[in-house]
Amino acid sequence: MPGRQPDPQGLRPFNIQHDSASRQTMCAWERFLTDDPQGTGAVGSFVVSSWLRSRELGINPRGKAAPLAALGDAMTHLRERHGDLLGAAADVFATSTQLFSGSRSLMLLTNPDGIVLDAIGDNQTLDAGQSIHLMQGGDWREDTVGTNGIGTALATRRPAQVHASEHFCEGIKAWTCAAAPIFERGTGRVLGILDISGPTNTYQRNNLSLAISIARQIEMTLSEKASRERLQLLEICLQRLSARDVAGLVVIDREGRLVHNSGCLPDLVPLGQRLPGFDMQGTADDWVVSLPATLRTDRLDVIRLNGRAIGAMLIIPEKPLRRAIPAQTAETGFGAIIGQSPQLAQALTRVRQLRDKRVPVLIEGETGVGKELFARALHGEIQDNHPFVVFNCGAVVKDLLASELFGYARGAFTGATTTGAIGRFEQAHGGTLCLDEIGEMPLDLQSILLRVLEDGVIYRLGSGQPHRVDVRLVAMTNRALLEEVAAGRFRRDLYHRLSVTRIQPPALRDRVGDVDMLIAHFNRHLATRHGIAERLFGEPVLALLRDYDWPGNVRELRNLVESLLLMSDDPVVTKDEVMALLEHAVAHASKPTQGPSSGASLEEAERAAIVLATQHCHGNLAEAARALRISRSTLYRKMERYRLSPHGADY
């Protein structure tokens, strides 16, 4: 069993057995290597899991150092590629230089692959770190050097503190390290690792807290820079846009994330999310081939600022790119709401009572109950010729939310001589503004919204000029907003202003007799839309569907009917077909024997739905967000609020 390792620079030896705990871990490691089933009893499961991964990866436990992944020009190119990350860390590294001087500790920054980009710290320890390649270019993934702070933080996507004998490779057991991932806000992508390392006698438990704090600071700096750049990008794009021959506009940033999407366009991804298949490593000239097939065109314009590509705009001409998107005349008003149940009739009576009242209305209901249809019924028929504007507060990156709602003035972001743009409030002047997912609105904007409701005046970003607006506001949510108020996430005064009048569309499971009518409606409507024959829903199938809980409500029923129409040419729908489509829901959701009790919380139902989706998708948050029909950024926020891990468990 190794005892002491000499410091190659002549420093005092690094004692890897300075306490009994380290000796016990060393013994456990030796027994682990001999496959002793009782050998790891004294070691935490976090370390043992990493040891198991290291062994499965074929890591040599007698290894002495991490490999070097980059030197010379290769290292220069690697640092250039991660210039944003290095730039965001520059200030904190500069201010920490004095802190780490004489501390016998190092602070390191890696790229997303665990390759060290920068290191500062005590000069003697920097020299000692070179013996194990704890330096620029060192590759510290678990795949290459086994259990260590950097690699294990990457493997688990969680902060990791690995001390002395807990390392897998013998040659690095003289060190202690605490590492925290740096995440891209809004997507959860790992951008790098912030690590604090030193010889074992520098171990401090609060090193991990320090690493986490510095990582969060770097995240904030990156997020603020990205926000400024996206606003600059959007302003430049809107300045160049000509409305004469344009059906729509797509704007992406240099990471392939959707910044703006308007007009007659194919379905893409939620705002703030990356387009599927986008190659972030390619040059700006390669971006066009990374676009989804329906968007590939020679009209992709790369936007540069000070000589640097910051994104691109795709102008959709009046003639669609690949195929025409079928024009649909949306039903409006009460005719679009199908059903005759007493529960539905009661809610619609409430809508009729409020239709001509120019007061805010709060529509609360589960996902998929048709809240927007109720909002349209409140607004009136399309012939009324008053604007009806819908905006989802949870489907836009936070830093663009204010400009989307209130607009912005000339030169508000870049100083360019653009005319600015109006926001949703001005677009809805004289009509109705429908704000979906109102509970996603940040607290700082909630206070501005309250003022607009009180005064009827908005101010565009970057302007002190008031603009009077006459807007009837309809707010929608699937949350229990009073609970959000109690938790401090929603302003009490705004809640009371919005909920002067409330409407609660009933869940489909509570609408006795409406399932049959909805099936008949969707069967007829969707068959006509797709140019196919209707299918017959016999009594056994109808009985099965009446008895189903419909956690996704009317939207789920519509999707099921459409799937049944498109997946078979058989004129008769069978129970086996329906059961196949409902198999997951039937297996994982328990049907309540009655409607929600008066004390039931929409928040509890939402949390349960997220747990179910993340578990079913095996932790794939992109798939879970699609299954829940919310943006991935919204899913991240909700998981953080409910303290859920990617696999649905509490953390």
Distance CA 579, CA 544 (A): 9
pLDDT at residue 600 greater than cutoff 50: no
| CATH 1.10.10.60, domain 508-588, yes or no | no
The mean-pLDDT minimum among 284-298, 383-397, 549-563 falls in 284-298
Sequence spans of domains, the chain: 21-224, 241-317, 333-503, 508-588, 602-641
Question: Would you state the structure tokens that stand for residue 130, as one six-digit string?
Answer: 């070179």
pLDDT at residue 7 greater than cutoff 50: no
pLDDT at residue 64 greater than cutoff 70: yes
CB 272 within 8 A of CB 633: yes
Please give the pLDDT value at position 186: 72
The pLDDT-based confidence of 493 (bands split at 50, 70, 90) is very high
User: Which CATH number, 1.10.1660, 1.10.238, 1.10.10, 1.10.3470, labels domain 602-641?
Assistant: 1.10.10
Q: Look up residue 591 and give its DSSP letter.
A: P
Distance CA 221, CA 216 (A): 9
Distance CA 120, CA 135 (A): 9
Query: pLDDT averaged over the chain?
Result: 80
CB 333 within 8 A of CB 372: no
Distance CA 516, CA 452 (A): 43
Q: Given CA atoms 292, 297, 299, 304 in this order, what sign does their dihedral have?
A: positive
Q: What is the mean pLDDT of residues 504-523?
A: 92
Most confident range, picked from 2-16, 49-63, 232-246, 547-561: 49-63
Please give the pLDDT value at position 507: 93
Q: Given CA atoms 358, 359, 360, 362 in this order, what sign does their dihedral have?
A: negative
Residues in Cβ contact with 12 at an 8 Å cutoff, skipping those fewer than 6 apart = none
Sheet with 246-253: list strands edge to edge: 258-263, 246-253, 308-317, 300-305
The dihedral formed by the CA atoms of 420, 424, 430 and 431, expressed in degrees to the nearest 10: 160
Please give the pLDDT value at position 4: 37
Which of 198, 86, 221 lies closest to 149 in space, CA to CA?
198
Give the residue carrying structure tokens 């992709």: 300
Q: State which H helix or E strand residue 457 sits in.
A: strand 457-459
Q: Given CA atoms 395, 401, 405, 410 in this order, what sign does their dihedral have?
A: negative
Question: Would you state the structure tokens that stand for residue 228, as one six-digit string?
Answer: 């400024």
Distance CA 193, CA 182 (A): 6
Q: What is the mean pLDDT of residues 285-290?
A: 61
Higher pLDDT, 619 or 221: 221
| CATH 3.30.450.40, domain 21-224, yes or no | yes
Rg of the chain over CA atoms, in angstroms? 29
Q: Look up residue 421 and give its DSSP letter.
A: B
Residue 474, classed as helix, strand or coil, is strand
Report the predicted TM-score, pTM, of the whole model to 2 decimal places.
0.49
The residues facing 210 across adjacent strands are none
The mean-pLDDT minimum among 15-24, 269-278, 596-605 falls in 596-605
Distance CA 554, CA 546 (A): 12
Give the count of alpha carbons within 13 A of 473, CB side only: 23
Question: Would you state the structure tokens that stand for residue 303, as one six-digit string?
Answer: 């936007």
CB atoms within 10 A of CB 10: 9
Distance CA 205, CA 176 (A): 11
Distance CA 30, CA 551 (A): 52
- Residues 318-330 as b/e (b if ≥16 CB within 10 A, e otherwise) read eebbeeeeeeeee
Question: Would you state the structure tokens that stand for residue 649, as one six-digit string?
Answer: 């468990």
| CATH 3.40.50.1450, domain 333-503, yes or no | no
Q: State which H helix or E strand residue 75 sits in.
A: helix 72-81
